[in-house]
Amino acid sequence: MRITRILAYRAELPLHETTYKWSGGKSVSVFDSTVVRVETDAGVTGHGEVCPLGPFYLPAYADGVRAGIRELGPHLIGADPRELAKLNRLMDAALKGHPYVKSGIDIACWDILGQVANMPVCELLGGRYGTDVHLYRAISQETPDVMAARVAEYRAMGYRRFQLKVGGDPDVDIERIRAVAAKLESGDRLIADANTGWVQHEAVRVAKAVRDIDVYIEQPCLTYEECLAVRRQIPHPFVLDENIDDLGVLLRAKADLAMDVVNLKISKLGGLTKTRQARDLCVSMGIGMTLEDSWGGDIATAAIAHLAHSTPTEFLFTTTDFNSYGPVSIATGAPQRVNGRMAASTAPGLGVQPRMEVLGDPLVTIDRAR
């Protein structure tokens, strides 16, 4: 089987809540997502999706996905999409770095492999654990009262894990954590995600001010070293996210005992192939995981669901359903939240069919080898 054509489409994903806000005044109102379509000479077609959280979250931006595919695509025409390790080596040889550019292509090739094998991607990724997985809800940065009200609202929808967007004014963040914690019930989990927004001494101060609260502290500071210094001074369970973007730093963080949980995002690592490798390593090392992506619609949510559902239950800290955050559906067959949980499709591949009427014409078409 050979890749004959690679296409990229742009989808705009607005939000039910209008704007998503996190540390340092960063916000997005309409996400710019790229759907990747990989076609083959066997008539099998796979799809992937990459959606950066704006251009200022990770070293990734929406037009960069499309520009990268224009550069990389011609090297992949003629390659076998089922040979995913070889395909990833080919991508890494043709384009250094830029993992998020490769992510959508890799996901689409897993979709193809699943269809050819007549198996859902989660079974190919290791096997389906349990009937479904629990979801977290990200709580956009607002005043403490608004955030507490949102948590109550999402709790009523079935969510039991809440990731507060803090990383703002440290004194207000202390109030945010306290206001939300007061709304929680037994069995709920609370994460205060600063998204690199605190300087080191303020991070220590915030954590010590909420030392009586059952809360996870996620990525308080910009650098790994600052986060490690904070981690060593506070009692809370600790999550690293933005700094963990390859196996080298993951192994270093394990050796330093720098985290209890790691947040692995599919496009941050460069696709399902590489995220599975990191996931399996975390299982062997005893590290819990939040498995997700930077953002996305139905296709990204399907890929997340297959990855999460194929992870041993005790290691899956939480995952997310980005396709419920906004009104636009870009594919049928994607997981739908039920009582704060979702399940990977049982259909072959990712189990999604893109809505071509929503995606429109492709912005990128690659059909000739370099």
Closer CB to Mg ion, 106 or 241, in the complex: 241
DSSP tag of 43: S
Q: How far is the CB of 209 from Mg ion (least distance, A)?
A: 21
Structure-token match 């990128």, residue found: 364
The answer to whether residues 271 and 258 touch, using CB atoms and an 8 Å cutoff, is: no
The answer to whether residues 84 and 277 touch, using CB atoms and an 8 Å cutoff, is: no
> What per-residue string of b and e applies to 93-125 under the rule 16 or more CB within 10 Å gives b?
eebeebbbbbbbbbbbbbbbbbbbeeebbbbbb
Q: How far is the CB of 96 from Mg ion (least distance, A)?
A: 26
Q: How far is the CB of 166 from Mg ion (least distance, A)?
A: 11
Closer CB to Mg ion, 7 or 227, in the complex: 227
Closer CB to Mg ion, 49 or 241, in the complex: 241
| Position closest to Mg ion via CB | 241
Q: How far is the CB of 265 from Mg ion (least distance, A)?
A: 8
**Which one from 102, 265, 268, 274 is the annotated catalytic residue?**
265
Q: How far is the CB of 51 from Mg ion (least distance, A)?
A: 15
Closer CB to Mg ion, 91 or 261, in the complex: 261
Which residues are at the interface with Mg ion (CB under 5 A)?
Answer: 193, 241, 263
Active site (annotated) includes residue 102 = no
Q: Please calculate the CA angle 192-171-259 and round it to the nearest 5 degrees.
A: 30
Closer CB to Mg ion, 148 or 227, in the complex: 227
Closer CB to Mg ion, 148 or 217, in the complex: 217
Q: How far is the CB of 346 from Mg ion (least distance, A)?
A: 30
Q: For residues 221 and 238, what is the distance between their CA atoms, to the nearest angstrom?
A: 12
Q: For residues 360 and 24, what is the distance between their CA atoms, to the nearest angstrom?
A: 35
Q: How far is the CB of 3 from Mg ion (least distance, A)?
A: 33
**Which one from 165, 254, 268, 274 is the annotated catalytic residue?**
165
Closer CB to Mg ion, 24 or 126, in the complex: 24
The answer to whether residues 49 and 169 touch, using CB atoms and an 8 Å cutoff, is: no
In this structure, what are the phi and psi dihedrals at residue 138, rounded to the nearest 5 degrees?
A: -80, 130
Give the three-class secondary structure for 164. strand
> What per-residue string of b and e applies to 131-155 under the rule 16 or more CB within 10 Å gives b?
ebbbbbbbbbbbebeebbbbbeebb
DSSP string, 198-264: S-HHHHHHHHHHTTTS--EEE--SSSHHHHHHHHTT--S-EEE-TT--SHHHHHHHHHTT--SEEEE
How many other C-beta atoms can be found within 10 angstroms of the C-beta atom of residue 23?
20
Residues assigned a catalytic role: 165, 265
